[in-house]
Amino acid sequence: MATEADVADVATGTETTRGESGQRSGRPRKDRKNAHGEGSFYFVEGKGLWRASLMVGRKADGRPDRRLVSAKSQKECRERDRELEVC
C-alpha cells in the first residue's frame, strides 16, 4: 500500500520516494535491506544502470578489494553480484 511519501511514475513504471524535505529522490525504491556480505546496490542515473559493489577481501597492501558489476536491471545486477560472492 502506498503512502503519501510514495509516488508512482506512471510514464516509466517506477516508484520514487520523498526525502525529509518532501522532494522526490528520483531513485527507484528498494525492495528490502541487504543482508550481511551481500554488497551495496545503487542506480546510476547518468548511465541508466544498476551497479553492485562487493568487498571480497583485502589486497596485499591492506586496501579493501572491491568488485563492481553493472546491469540494466536490478534483478540481473543481483544475479551478477551472487556470482562474485561464490568466487
Give 28-78 pLDDT, tens digit per residue: 666 677 777 778 899 999 999 999 999 989 999 999 999 999 999 999 999
Task: Judge if 75 and 59 occupy the same domain.
Answer: yes
Based on the fold, state whether residues 35 and 77 are members of the same structural domain. yes
Identify whether residues 73 and 37 lie together within a single domain: yes
Is the pTM higher than 0.75?
A: no
Query: CB–CB of 2/9 below 8 Å?
Result: no
Residue 36 sits in the same domain as residue 77: yes
Q: 42 and 82 share a domain?
A: yes
40 and 82 share one domain: yes
Q: Where does the chain show beta strands of DSSP type E? A: 6-9, 14-17, 40-44, 49-58, 64-71
Domain containing 1: what range?
1-29
Query: Taking a C-beta distance cutoff of 8 angstroms, is the pair 18, 3 a contact?
Result: no
Note whether 41 and 70 are same-domain residues: yes
39 touches 55 (CB < 8 A): yes
Q: Structurally, how many domains does the chain consist of?
A: 2
